[in-house]
Amino acid sequence: MKKFIFVCAAFALCASASAQKGNLKKIENLTYGVTQLNTLEPEKWAEINQLVNEAKDNPETAENCKTWEWILKCKANDRFKMLKEYQANNNQFSDMKAFFLNEKAIVDAAEKYHKLIHTPDAKGKLPFKDKDLEVQKLWLKENAAASRGNLYVGATQYVYNEPQVAVDLLETYYASFDSPIFEGDDLKNTDKNYKESAFVYATALKGINADPAKIEEWDIKSLETQNGALACQELITAYKKKGDTANEQKYLQYGFENFKQTNIFGINLAQNAINNHEYDKTLQICDELIKRQEDGSTPTVDESGKQYENVWYPYYFKAVSLFNTEKYDQAYEAFVIGDEKCPGHIELVMGAGTSAAKFGNNHFADKAVCKPWFEKALKYFNKAEENWPEASDQWGYQTYVCYNNLDNQVMKEKYKKYAEK
C-alpha cells in the first residue's frame, strides 16, 4: 500500500512538472507567427503572463531559461504599454512607481536570463548554439540597457518619501555595473549618473535606518559630486551626534577648503576656534570667508537680491576675536565694517559701541584720546536705541556710562534710570 502511495505521489509530481513545461509550449502557440510581440492583443498577454507566472512558481521549471526569456518579454511588453500610456497622457504615468519597479524587474530578469543561457545542463550542453547565443545576449542587453538608467531616476523620485523603494532600485542599478551583460562597456566611466547617485543612495539608506557605517561610506563617496557640500554636512552632523570631535573638525575643514559656494563650513569652523580660544585661527578663517564673499566666490544674496542670513557672521567672529585679544580699536573697525556690509544686526552695532567704549576706558587718563572714542561709542549705542528700543538692557547702561565719562550732565540724567536697574 505504501509503495502504491509513493508511486502515485511521484506520478503527480511528474504530471505537475509536465504541465508546467506545457505552459511554455502554450505560450509559443499563442505567439506563433507573430513577428512583433507588442501587437498581440491584451487578452493574449494576460494569458501569457499567467502561464509564465505558473512556470516560474513551479520548482521544476523555475530555472528553465525559456521561462526567464518569457518573463523578460512580459516585463518588456509592460514597459511598452506604460510608455505608450505615458505619451498619450501628456507625459504622465498613471502609476509612476509601477513603471520604475518594472524597470528594475527588466534588469533583474535580464541578469537571470543571461546567467541561465550560459549554464550547461547535466550533459554539459548549453541552451543555445554560439550564433543563437549571441543573438540572445544582444537582445537581453538591449532591454537591460533601456531600463537600467531609469533606476537612478526612479530613486531620486522616492528617496525621501519611500526610501526603501529608492534603495531597491539603486541596488539593482549598482549591480549592473559589474554585470557580465555589460562587460567591456566601462559603465563606471561612461554613466554620468554613477557618481551622482551616491548621495541619493546614502540619503535613502539613512531613510531606512541602515547601518551608520554604510551611510558614512556612501556620503564619503558623494564628496566629489555635485552634492558634495550636502554630503559633507551630513558627515559633520553624524560625527557631531556621535561626539566624534576629530572627524567633525576634519570635515568642517574639508568643507571650508572645498566648497567655497557656501560659507557655513567656515562659519562653524570659526565658531569652534573661538570656543577653543584659537583667535589667530579664527582671524585667518574669517578673512578668507570675507574675501570669498566680497570677490563673489561665495554668493551673499538670493535670486530676489535678499542677503543671506549668515553673511554677517564672518565679520562678527573676526571682530569678536580681536575684542577677546583686547585689540579694541581693531575690533571697533571690524564691527563697523560688518555693520556697513550687513546692516540690521544689533550684535554688530553693539559690538562697535562696546569696543570703542573699551578703548576709551583704557585711555581714560588722556582726555584728548578717550573723548573721541566715547563719542564713537555713543554713535553706535544711540543707533542701537533707535533701531532696537526694546533692547535697553543692552544699550541703556552703556549709554549712561559714556555720557558720565564725557561729563554730559543733561544726557547722564536722561539715561540715569538704566543705571539704577
Q: Is residue 203 part of a domain?
A: no
Q: Is residue 405 part of a domain?
A: yes
332 and 419: one domain? yes
276 and 365: one domain? no
Residue 13 has pLDDT above 70, yes or no: no
337 and 286: one domain? no
Using one digit for the tens of pLDDT, what is the confidence trace for 138-195?
Answer: 999 999 999 999 999 999 999 999 999 999 999 999 999 999 999 999 999 999 999 9
Whether 13 and 48 have beta carbons less than 8 Å apart is answered as: no
Using one digit for the tens of pLDDT, what is the confidence trace for 299-356?
Answer: 999 999 999 999 999 999 999 999 999 999 999 999 999 999 999 999 999 999 999 9
Residue 255 has pLDDT above 60, yes or no: yes
Number of H helices, E strands in the chain: 20, 0
Q: Is residue 382 part of a domain?
A: yes
Q: What is the DSSP letter of 312?
A: G
Three-state DSSP class for residue 307: strand
Residue 14 has pLDDT above 70, yes or no: no
Q: Within 10 A of 406 (CB to CB), how many other CB atoms are there? A: 18
* Residues above pLDDT 90, as percent of the chain: 82
Q: Which residue has the cell 530676489?
A: 304
The C-alpha cell of 286 is what? 574669517
Q: Is residue 14 part of a domain?
A: no
Whether 283 and 321 have beta carbons less than 8 Å apart is answered as: yes
- Region 358-379: what's the mean pLDDT? 96
Three-state DSSP class for residue 125: coil
315 and 347: one domain? no
Using one digit for the tens of pLDDT, what is the confidence trace for 201-245?
Answer: 999 999 999 999 999 999 999 999 999 999 999 999 999 999 999
378 and 393: one domain? yes
The C-alpha cell of 64 is what? 528553465
Backbone angles phi, psi at 264, to 5 degrees: -60, -35
Q: Is residue 344 part of a domain?
A: yes
292 and 341: one domain? no
Residue 12 is predicted with a pLDDT of 40
Q: Which residues contact 352 (CB under 8 A, 6 or more apart)?
A: 332, 335, 336, 339, 376, 377, 380
Q: Which domain holds residue 277?
A: 260-300+308-325
Provide Rg for the chain, Cα atoms: 36
Q: Which residue would you say has higher pLDDT here, 32 or 292? A: 292
Residue 116 has pLDDT above 80, yes or no: yes
Average pLDDT, the chain: 92
359 and 289: one domain? no
288 and 347: one domain? no
Q: Where are the beta strands (DSSP E) in 184-272?
A: none
Residue 378 has pLDDT above 70, yes or no: yes
- Region 110-121: what's the mean pLDDT? 95
Q: How many domains does the chain have?
A: 2
382 and 411: one domain? yes
Using one digit for the tens of pLDDT, what is the confidence trace for 380-398?
Answer: 999 999 999 999 999 999 9
Q: Is residue 193 part of a domain?
A: no
Residue 54 is predicted with a pLDDT of 85
277 alpha-carbon distance from chain centroid: 34
- Confidence class for position 61, pLDDT limits 50, 70, 90: confident
- Confidence class for position 5, pLDDT limits 50, 70, 90: very low
Residue 20 is predicted with a pLDDT of 57
Using one digit for the tens of pLDDT, what is the confidence trace for 267-290?
Answer: 999 999 999 999 999 999 999 999
Beta-bridged to residue 301, according to DSSP, are 307
- Region 246-275: what's the mean pLDDT? 96
Least Cα distance to 223 among 202, 246, 205, 249 occurs for 202
Q: Is residue 331 part of a domain?
A: yes
The C-alpha cell of 207 is what? 531613510
Residue 351 is predicted with a pLDDT of 98
316 and 369: one domain? no
Residue 9 is predicted with a pLDDT of 42
Residue 30 has pLDDT above 90, yes or no: no
Residue 16 is predicted with a pLDDT of 46
Residue 383 is predicted with a pLDDT of 98
Instruction: Point out the least confidently predicted range of 15-19, 134-138, 287-291.
Output: 15-19
Residue 267 is predicted with a pLDDT of 97
* Residues above pLDDT 70, as percent of the chain: 94
281 and 295: one domain? yes
Residue 376 has pLDDT above 50, yes or no: yes
pTM (two decimals): 0.83
357 and 412: one domain? yes
Q: Within 10 A of 54 (CB to CB), how many other CB atoms are there? A: 16
Instruction: Point out the least confidently predicted range of 1-10, 240-249, 355-364.
Output: 1-10
Q: Which residue would you say has higher pLDDT here, 34 or 222? A: 222
Q: Is residue 162 part of a domain?
A: no
State the number of CA atoms in the 13 A half-sphere of 364 facing the CB.
10
